[in-house]
Amino acid sequence: MSSPHPHHPALAATDPELAELVGAEERLQAETLRLIPSENYVSQAVLEASGTVLQNKYSEGYPGKRYYEGQQVIDQVERLAADRARELFGVEHANVQPYSGSPANLAVYLAFLKPGDTVLGMSLPMGGHLTHGWGVSATGSWFRGVQYGVRRDTGRVDLDQVRELALAERPKLIFCGGTAVPRTIDFPAFAGIAQEVGAVLVADIAHIAGLVAGGAHPSPVGHADVISTTTHKTLRGPRGAMLMSTAEHAKAIDRAVFPGLQGGPHNQTTAAIAVALKEASGPDFRKYAADVVANAKALGEELAGRGFELVSGGTDNHLLLIDLTGKGVAGKPAAKALDRAGIVVNYNTVPYDPRKPFDPSGIRIGTPSLTSRGVPVSAMGQVAEWIDRVVGAVAVGEAQTEAEVGKVRAEVAELMAAWPAPGLAR
Ligand code: DSN
């Protein structure tokens, strides 16, 4: 056990057990190379905003139209966050109340569909999200989910299939975007298909919102009717979400979020979103967004040079999807060995995966977290070498793996010590 937690004295006094766990998580996040593409490190300012007394207040409704009194300050906080979202993304309307990505997407269904209506989205094992109409999700059981995928030969979204399915199935809602899509999303092409069939186009930019805000990925604004995003991935804010839209759909979206789906918004999160949006509007954030992509491209090239098979052959954004079949290793044992070596990734299906989602063929990695620490592009060769050593050892056997894991873990900790993490370096 280390000494009482120095950063959270009140927590340590009241609940030393929990304070110890928080300290352990801080050390873990400081010492490891975090490569999960949907994770990041928020700034100290975002952390502070999300731990404020704003969380004590109920404020069902919207600024100026609440069901509780005492909103003199909260209204200003929510207006600030929504104004900043509108300005940063160049949208006509922003709702900053959704609790996270899945409730945000569910609100979109509530705004535009009736149970049983058809939604067209990317299939989960091809890189989509549960809430894009996948069967085990409420969105796939309350609505009629039709799913598109990627082409076998290119690993890229099959836009011919999207159009064919749209014409045949006449969805009311089309989702573009996903959770394991390493390539640029062609928003104009999706918009053309949606217009052809009279569907509402939703761009789920949860993964790439920070890249869009920082100018490192094309924007869906002007193409999508609704833009859904979480705020905690590349955007580097607190765990939350936003729905943005044209003025035409503003009322439908707002009514769906509250009172349709949610109760009181989490005001401390709204405040932290406002802070993150302010950070994302500065020049440093544009450099961060460009660096995220440069690091991912460099890491992809280094891995490909070591014989790793990248789905779609590379990346345009922050993530790499790697099929380990050719390495003679499945995704899960590779991810678990990498974790023991201090390299945190997630196992993931690859398109047309013959294996099951809980034991798939691939791993998914991304560069937002290491970029937020300032790890430079010149270090990507070293990162690829570590991944190669650990995965290579897993292919050989247990003794080899444990020996390699120990060595790599020490080397990773050394690199991480040189690049302190935001929010942890105090
Ligand atoms: N769980 C998120 C991800 O890791 O991509 C998506 O919701």
pLDDT in tens, 199-220: 999 999 999 999 999 999 999 9
- Among the candidates 225, 249, 280, a domain finishes at 280
396 and 358 fall within a common domain: yes
**pLDDT tens readout for residues 78-87:** 999 999 999 9
Q: Is the CB of 127 under 6 A from ligand 1?
A: no
Q: Is the CB of 349 under 6 A from ligand 1?
A: no
∠ CA 116-119-124, rounded to 5°: 115
Residue 244 CA to residue 290 CA, distance in Å, equals 24
Residue 272 lies in a domain: yes
pLDDT over 90 at 244, yes or no: yes
Mean of pLDDT values over 368-386: 98
* Cα–ligand 1 centroid distance for 9 (angstroms): 33
Query: Could you report the per-residue pLDDT of 110-121, keeping only the tens digit for each?
Result: 999 999 999 999
150 and 222 belong to one structural domain: yes
How many structural domains compose the chain?
A: 2
Whether residue 212 is contained in a domain is answered as yes
Q: Whose CA is nearest to atom 1 of ligand 1?
A: 38
pLDDT score of 20 more than 60: yes
Say if residue 309 is in the same domain as residue 218: no
- Chosen domain end from 280, 308, 325: 280
Report the C-alpha gap between 180 and 209 in whole angstroms: 14
Taking residues 299-310, report their average pLDDT.
98
Handedness of CA 397, 306, 207, 142 (dihedral sign): negative
Closest residue by Cα to residue 131 from 162, 104, 99, 105: 105
The reply to whether 65 and 195 lie within a common domain is yes
Q: What is the pLDDT of residue 2?
A: 46
* 255 and 324 part of one domain: no
- Please state whether the peptide bond connecting residue 259 to the residue before it is cis, i.e. omega within 30 degrees of 0: yes
Residue 348, ligand 1, Cβ within 6 A: no
**Average pLDDT along the chain:** 97
Give me the domain span that covers residue 111.
50-280
Looking at the structure, tell me whether residues 265 and 308 fall in a common domain.
no
Q: How far is the CA of 33 from the centre of ligand 1 (A)?
A: 18
Q: Is residue 19, in this structure, part of any structural domain at all?
A: no
Residue 39 lies in a domain: no
Structure tokens at 351: 């398109």
Q: Are residues 206 and 304 in the same domain?
A: no
Q: Which of 84, 183, 233, 297 is catalytic?
A: 233
334, 354: one domain: yes
What is the DSSP annotation of 149-189?
A: -B-TTT-SB-HHHHHHHHHHH--SEEEE--SS--S---HHH
Whether 233 is catalytic: yes
Whether 38 is in the pocket of ligand 1, judged by its Cβ within 6 Å, is yes
359 part of a folded domain? yes
Let me know if residue 12 belongs to a domain.
no
The pLDDT tens digits for 27-44 are 999 999 999 999 999 999
Q: Could you tell me if 234 and 318 lie in one domain?
A: no
**For 194, phi and psi rounded to 5 degrees?**
-60, -40
Specify whether 141 is located in the same domain as 232.
yes
**Which band of pLDDT confidence, cut at 50, 70 and 90, is reported for residue 353?**
very high
Could you tell me which of 377, 424, 384 has the C-alpha nearest to residue 408?
Answer: 384
Q: Are residues 221 and 301 in the same domain?
A: no
Question: Residue 89 is part of a domain; what is its CATH number?
Answer: 3.40.640.10
Q: Are residues 313 and 371 in the same domain?
A: yes
Average pLDDT over residues 238-263: 98
- The residue among 245, 280, 315 that closes a domain is 280
- Helix (H) / strand (E) element for 333: namely helix 331-340
